[in-house]
Amino acid sequence: MKLLVTGGAGFIGANFVHYWVKKYPKDKITVVDALTYTGNLENLALVKKEVEFVEADINDRPKISQALKRVDAVIHFAAESHVDRAIFDPSTYWQTNVHGTLTLLEEAQKAGVPRFHHISTDEVYGELPLDSDAKFTEKTPYSPRPDNLYALSKAEADKIVLDFYQKTKMYITISNCSNNYGPYQFPEKYIPIIVTNLIDKIKVPLHGDGRNVRDWIHTRDHSSAIDLILNKGKSGETYLVGSNNDRSNSYIAKKVVNLFGANETVIRHVSDRHSNDRRYAINATKIMEELGWKPEITRDKFNEGLKETIAWYKENQGWWRPLLKRKAMIMDSSKSISAYISLDRESGKTKFVFGKIEKQVEKKETVFDADKHFVEQNLVRYEIVMKNLNSKKWYKASSDEVKNEIKTLGINPSTFGYVEDLAGREDHINGDLILKLEKIEHADSKYGIYGIGSWFEVENKKKEKRMEGYYSWGWGPKSGAKLLVLVKRNGEITHLATQREQKFPTGSVEYTLAGGFPKLNESVLDFIIRSIQKDLNLSVTKNDVGLDQIISLGRLNPDSGMTNNKPNLYAVIVNLSDELYKDVKKGDKFEEDEGIVLWPIDKLADLINKCDDAYFLSALTRLNLTKNIL
Which amino acids are annotated catalytic?
Answer: 122-123, 150
- Compare residues 180 and 563 and give the one whose CB is closer to ligand NAD: 180
* 162 CA to centre of own chain: 24
100 touches ligand NAD (CB under 6 A): yes
CA dihedral 222, 223, 225, 229 (to 10 degrees): 130
Strands 595-600 and 585-586: parallel
The residue from 3, 4, 5, 13 that contacts ligand NAD (CB under 6 A) is 13
Pick out residues in 286-325 that bind ligand NAD (CB under 6 A). none
Q: Tally Cβ neighbours within 10 Å of residue 138.
A: 15
91 touches ligand NAD (CB under 6 A): no
Q: Which residues contact 86 (CB under 8 A, 6 or more apart)?
A: 80, 93, 148, 149, 150, 153
One-character DSSP codes across 24-51:
-TTSEEEEEE---TT--GGGGGGGTTTE
177 touches ligand NAD (CB under 6 A): yes
Facing residues of 466 across strands?
Answer: 458
223 touches ligand NAD (CB under 6 A): no
330 touches ligand NAD (CB under 6 A): no
Distance CA 467, CA 459 (A): 9
54 touches ligand NAD (CB under 6 A): no
154 touches ligand NAD (CB under 6 A): yes
Minimum CB–partner distance for residue 36 and ligand NAD (Å): 4
- Compare residues 282 and 406 and give the one whose CB is closer to ligand NAD: 282
Contact 50, 25 (CB under 8 A): yes
- Compare residues 35 and 435 and give the one whose CB is closer to ligand NAD: 35
Q: What's the half-sphere exposure (Cβ side, CA atoms, 13 Å) at 31?
A: 33
The residue from 3, 4, 5, 7 that contacts ligand NAD (CB under 6 A) is 7
- Compare residues 57 and 522 and give the one whose CB is closer to ligand NAD: 57
Instruction: Provide the mask over 18-37, with x wherever binding to ligand NAD is found by CB under 6 A and - wherever it is not.
Output: ---------------xxxx-
417 touches ligand NAD (CB under 6 A): no
Minimum CB–partner distance for residue 565 and ligand NAD (Å): 29
Q: Which residues contact 321 (CB under 8 A, 6 or more apart)?
A: none
Minimum CB–partner distance for residue 191 and ligand NAD (Å): 10
The residue from 5, 17, 19, 38 that contacts ligand NAD (CB under 6 A) is 38
Helix (H, G, I), strand (E, B) or coil at 350: strand
165 touches ligand NAD (CB under 6 A): no
- Compare residues 189 and 351 and give the one whose CB is closer to ligand NAD: 189
Number of residues that bind ligand NAD (CB under 6 A): 29
124 touches ligand NAD (CB under 6 A): no
Q: Tally Cβ neighbours within 10 Å of residue 265.
A: 9
Minimum CB–partner distance for residue 360 and ligand NAD (Å): 21
Helix (H, G, I), strand (E, B) or coil at 269: strand
94 touches ligand NAD (CB under 6 A): no
- Compare residues 63 and 301 and give the one whose CB is closer to ligand NAD: 63
Whether residue 413 is preceded by a cis peptide bond, meaning omega within 30 degrees of 0, is: no
Contact 208, 554 (CB under 8 A): yes
The residue from 4, 5, 10, 272 that contacts ligand NAD (CB under 6 A) is 10
- Compare residues 186 and 416 and give the one whose CB is closer to ligand NAD: 186
Distance CA 349, CA 79 (A): 20
Nearest Cα to 192, choosing from 126, 279, 260?
260
Minimum CB–partner distance for residue 630 and ligand NAD (Å): 29
421 touches ligand NAD (CB under 6 A): no
The residue from 5, 75, 81, 517 that contacts ligand NAD (CB under 6 A) is 81
Minimum CB–partner distance for residue 395 and ligand NAD (Å): 31
- What 385-390 contacts at long range (C-beta under 8 Å, 24+ apart), as own/partner pairs, is 385/146, 385/410, 385/416, 385/419, 385/420, 385/423, 386/410, 386/423, 387/141, 387/142, 387/143, 388/143, 388/146, 388/423, 388/424, 389/419, 389/422, 389/423
179 touches ligand NAD (CB under 6 A): yes
180 touches ligand NAD (CB under 6 A): yes
What single-letter amino acid sits at 241?
Answer: V
Backbone angles phi, psi at 61, to 5 degrees: -55, -50
Q: What's the half-sphere exposure (Cβ side, CA atoms, 13 Å) at 275?
A: 22
The residue from 4, 12, 422, 532 that contacts ligand NAD (CB under 6 A) is 12
Nearest Cα to 482, choosing from 516, 449, 512, 520?
516
Residue nearest to ligand NAD (CB): 10
Q: What's the half-sphere exposure (Cβ side, CA atoms, 13 Å) at 229?
A: 31
- Compare residues 185 and 472 and give the one whose CB is closer to ligand NAD: 185
One-character DSSP codes across 564-614:
----EEEEEEEE--HHHHHHSEESS--TT--EEEEEEGGGHHHHHHH---H
Nearest Cα to 415, choosing from 456, 469, 472, 372?
472
The residue from 3, 17, 51, 119 that contacts ligand NAD (CB under 6 A) is 119
- Compare residues 176 and 499 and give the one whose CB is closer to ligand NAD: 176
121 touches ligand NAD (CB under 6 A): yes
Backbone angles phi, psi at 285, to 5 degrees: -55, -40
Backbone angles phi, psi at 267, to 5 degrees: -80, 130
- Compare residues 56 and 497 and give the one whose CB is closer to ligand NAD: 56
The residue from 29, 71, 74, 78 that contacts ligand NAD (CB under 6 A) is 78
Stretch that binds ligand NAD, among 4-12, 61-69, 392-400, 474-482 (CB under 6 A): 4-12
- Compare residues 103 and 498 and give the one whose CB is closer to ligand NAD: 103
68 touches ligand NAD (CB under 6 A): no
Minimum CB–partner distance for residue 546 and ligand NAD (Å): 32
What is the contact surface with ligand NAD in residues (CB under 6 A)? 6-7, 9-13, 33-36, 38-39, 57-58, 77-81, 96, 100, 119, 121, 154, 177, 179-180, 186
